[in-house]
């Protein structure tokens, strides 16, 4: 499963575990399914977009990706105790701070917006957007076959990147330098 699908599934699962009486699922693969009769209480979850920022480049690219997920709520009531306003508030409470994937390079979800989508057949539609941020290494062009992963510093085929802090006198050649501190990515175990 793709990263986007994995996150979507985690969001659906989290909402389904905490909200009762509502059909909660990802957006359908076939867009024509959206036009068909829908349940009176439904939440759809889907990946919407990403923004990217280059954190470092030398020669590996280290990238921050901010992913946006849309949560669309369709409910017959608007202001009642089981209406769309109540569900919007509940979704925001559940997903704010939720961590859909584990890793030190992931930040918790946060709400970024909420808007009215429309009304159809007596069902009110609103959407709430949440962002989720991850950072990873993309080792292109040296390793173009490597795709981004949730573990940003893991290199392919068991390769460990080793670096350190060296010091030397100005007139010494690099082989005569003194290693003050060495660290590995991923850290060596054992």
Of the pLDDT bands very low, low, confident and very high (cuts 50, 70, 90), residue 34 is low
Segment 38-49, tens digit of pLDDT? 677 899 999 999
Determine the Cα–Cα distance for residues 156 and 147; give it in Å rounded to an integer.
10
Average pLDDT, the chain: 77
Q: CA-to-CA distance for 25 and 74, rounded, in angstroms?
A: 12
Residue 157: the pLDDT is 55
Other CB atoms within 10 Å distance of the CB of residue 152: 21
Cis before 67? omega within 30: no
118-163 confidence digits (pLDDT tens): 998 888 999 999 999 988 776 544 444 444 444 444 445 555 556 6
164-181 pLDDT, tens digit per residue, is 555 555 555 555 666 655
What are 84's two structure tokens? 């769309």
Q: What digits encode the pLDDT tens for the residues 64-91?
A: 889 999 999 999 877 877 788 999 999 9
In the structure encoding, which two tokens stand for residue 75, read together? 């409910």
- What is the spatial distance between Cα 64 and Cα 142, in angstroms, rounded to a whole number? 20
Q: Strands (DSSP E) along the chain, which ranges?
A: 23-26, 41-57, 61-75, 106-120, 123-138, 161-167, 178-185
Q: Are strands 41-57 and 61-75 parallel, antiparallel or unpaired?
A: antiparallel
DSSP label of 176: G
Looking at residue 8, what is its pLDDT?
A: 94
Tokens of 167: 């010091």
| Residue written as token pair 């990706």 | 65
Region 3-138: CATH code: 3.30.2000.10
Domain ranges of the chain: 3-138, 160-185
Element (H, E) at 146: none
pTM of the full structure: 0.69
Instruction: Report the alpha-carbon distance of residue 47 to residue 72 in Å, rounded.
Output: 11
Looking at residue 187, its pLDDT comes to 42
Whether 189 has a pLDDT exceeding 70, the answer reads no
For 122, the token pair is 């007596």
The residues pairing with 44 across neighbouring beta strands, listed in sequence order, are 25, 72
């Amino acid at each position: 499963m793709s990263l986007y699908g994995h996150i979507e599934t985690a969001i659906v699962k989290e909402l389904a575990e905490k909200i009762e009486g509502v059909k909660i699922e990802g957006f359908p693969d076939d867009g024509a399914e959206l036009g068909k009769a829908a349940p009176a209480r439904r939440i759809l979850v889907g990946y919407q977009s990403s923004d990217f920022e280059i954190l470092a480049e030398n020669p590996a690219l280290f990238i921050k990706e901010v992913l946006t997920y849309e949560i669309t709520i369709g409910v017959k009531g608007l202001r009642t105790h089981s209406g769309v306003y109540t569900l919007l508030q509940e979704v925001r409470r559940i997903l704010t701070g939720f961590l859909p994937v584990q890793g030190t390079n992931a930040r918790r979800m946060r709400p970024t917006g909420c808007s009215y989508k429309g009304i159809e057949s007596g069902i009110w539609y609103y959407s709430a957007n949440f962002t989720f941020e991850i950072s990873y290494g993309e080792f292109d062009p040296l390793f173009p076959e490597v795709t981004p992963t949730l573990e940003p510093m893991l290199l392919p085929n068991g390769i460990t990147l080793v670096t350190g802090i060296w010091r030397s006198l100005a007139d010494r050649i690099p082989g005569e330098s003194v290693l003050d501190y060495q660290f590995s990515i991923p850290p060596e175990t054992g």
